[in-house]
Structure 1
Amino acid sequence: MRRLIIIINLSLIVAFMMMFADCSDSSNGRKQVSIGYVNWSEGIAMSYLAKVMLESKGYDVMLRNADIAPVFVSMAAGKVDVFMDAWLPATHADYIRKYGDNLEALGVAYKNARMGLVVPSYVTIRSIEELNEHKEKFRNEIIGIDVGAGLMNETERVIREYPVELTLKPSSGATMVAFLQKSIENKEWIVVTGWTPHWMFSRYDLKFLDDPQKQYGDAEQIQIMATKGFSDKDPYAAAFFRNFSLDNNQLGELMDLVEAYPMREEEGAKIWLSEHPEVNEFFPTFAEK
């Protein structure tokens, strides 16, 4: 069984939970839903789309950004209603084992998600097993994302098991992409921790390195989780999230548009929604709220 090392900054968790202390109250009589999200492109895009759609039905939707551990802690404590970016059965399994008794699964937002080590297509190696032979070309490093992310913990295990003689350098999703873009512009070799769905695959010519040991496992699902009792508290919103599911093309286009509007992600989600009226089928047919 996989063991993930979860690094939790307790002060950040407490601060994050305090942000939600009164999130279930409504001063204007409108129903409220709080959605926690992490700075991962697919989760940002889906969370803003859900916000736009639910607000069209009269909801007040609050989006709160934090690292993965505080999101799960706050959701288990009932301070966050929904998280739309849980990678299962492997990546976030430790969080489910720890907090699952206080959570409920609503649905699958995306199938066939994948993670691993990613390089530009002009890099001539094909497999993780070839990294050591060319480690100098990669500056002896793998550019990672946030400390404590499931992908980072999986990659640390991959480095041990193969083994790989490169050092994993934590950064953030945005910083990782910035390093990738600069290297591609200069035709330099670089290896990063990557995943699909992600808009970078539509913008750059990239490839996953083969994983002959299958250390990263098989394809995963991106599931929508909620605090326990959410379905009873708000059957309409819960049904909406159960119906929420995007295919590869839909999510790819959504991520592209949301990423194209930095600091105005909601605008990108609105444009995408105007071009994809079919997703209004996510709304349940019974009476609203």
Structure 2
Amino acid sequence: MNMRRFLGVGSALVLAMSAAQAMAKEVSIGYVDGWADSVATTNVAAVVIKEKLGYDVKLQAVAAGIMWQGVATGKLDAMLSAWLPVTHGEYWAKNKDKVVDYGANFKDAKIGLIVPEYVKANSIEDLKTDETFKQKIVGIDAGSGVMIKTDQAIKDYDLTGYKLQASSGAGMTAELGRAYPKQQSIAVTGWVPHWMFAKWKLKFLEDPKGVYGAAETVNSIGSQQLDKKAPEVAAFLKKFQWQSKDEIGEVMLAIQDGAKPEAAAKEWVAKHPERVAEWTGK
């Protein structure tokens, strides 16, 4: 009887320890739901962490400021959507001593004016003399960073008569989608990484005056506790990096075309075992 009781207590202890270990094997990652690159990158990383590293992953959709605050306070373990050094420069300055920068998961991120490859214009300066654009630039949400920079570009490049049409991300791509098959000239405010580069052949207009700034990187940022809490996840984040805008574009376009983010991520991971092995060694 005593032996049975002892075995029962032992089994309960083993179960409790297993439950504690299972709870410990979870990481939380913040992302911004309205950013196509944030959704794609975060979901692919989550699938790799689950399938290859054996951790549960809790994804938290939050605003950019709350995302940074969450990682800085340890309420979130990581985020993969830090635009540096300019776009999130203020967040970095405020929180850099409270977080760990694991480096870029995407290089050559940038904002600017984007046109289809078929148009003759190659520089923002060309818009002054190219009448096919009808003195219109299709924008996104008023007050966003790329819109503020475009107002500045209209002044700095002396694009007299040009109007910046405020819209939304979806509205901008809808206009681009209508113009593209007709081979019409259209200039839009945009950024890379974005799924539109996977759907259409596009180019940035050169910006010799540097109004839009230099290329940025999108970095993976961890809490100060992540290295100890989940060393395998921290090691993965140091190596996790997209090779090109086309690689991440494959995932973003699948989501844009209707796939659930996790399903699109799982499909991409299954199709690219060699890339996953580079990141995880598995």
Establish whether TM, by shorter chain, passes 0.5: yes
> What does 1:58-73 align with in structure 2 at a 5 Å threshold?
58-73=54-69
Instruction: Give, in angstroms, the shift of residue 206 of structure 1.
Output: 1.5
Amino acid at match of 2:101: A
1:217 aligned onto 2:210:
no
Instruction: Give, in angstroms, the shift of residue 63 of structure 1.
Output: 2.1
CA distance in 1, matches of 2:221, 2:262: 22
Normalising to structure 1: TM-score of the pair?
Answer: 0.76
Percent of counterpart pairs with the same letter? Answer: 36
Q: 1:138 to 1:233 in 2, by over 3 A?
A: farther
CA distance in 2, matches of 1:101, 1:156: 34
Q: 1:179 to 1:105 in 2, by over 3 A?
A: same
Contact 1:76–1:103, Cα closer than 8 Å, also in 2: yes
CA distance in 1, matches of 2:29, 2:69: 13
Partner of 2:253: 256
Partner of 2:85: 89
Contact 1:32–1:60, Cα closer than 8 Å, also in 2: yes
Partner of 1:35: 29
- RMSD value over aligned CA atoms? 3.0
Deviation track 1:148-207 (CA, whole Å, cap 9, x = no partner) reads 4x4444444434544555454454433322221123244443321222232312321222
Q: 1:81 to 1:169 in 2, by over 3 A?
A: farther
> What does 1:1-289 align with in structure 2 at a 5 Å threshold?
29=23, 31-38=25-32, 39-56=34-51, 57-133=53-129, 137-138=133-134, 140-145=136-141, 147-148=143-144, 150-165=145-160, 166-248=162-244, 249-262=246-259, 264-278=260-274, 279-283=276-280
Instruction: Give, in angstroms, the shift of residue 84 of structure 1.
Output: 1.0
Q: 1:131 to 1:254 in 2, by over 3 A?
A: same
CA distance in 1, matches of 2:74, 2:211: 34
| Structure 1 runs not aligned, ≥5 long | 1-25
Amino acid at match of 2:38: G
Report the count of equivalent residues: 258
Q: 1:137 to 1:111 in 2, by over 3 A?
A: closer
| Structure 2 runs not aligned, ≥5 long | 1-19
CA distance in 2, matches of 1:134, 1:208: 16
**Structure with larger Rg:** 2
Contact 2:77–2:225, Cα closer than 8 Å, also in 1: no
Instruction: Give, in angstroms, the shift of residue 52 of structure 1.
Output: 0.9
From the two aligned structures, give the one with the greater helix fraction: 2
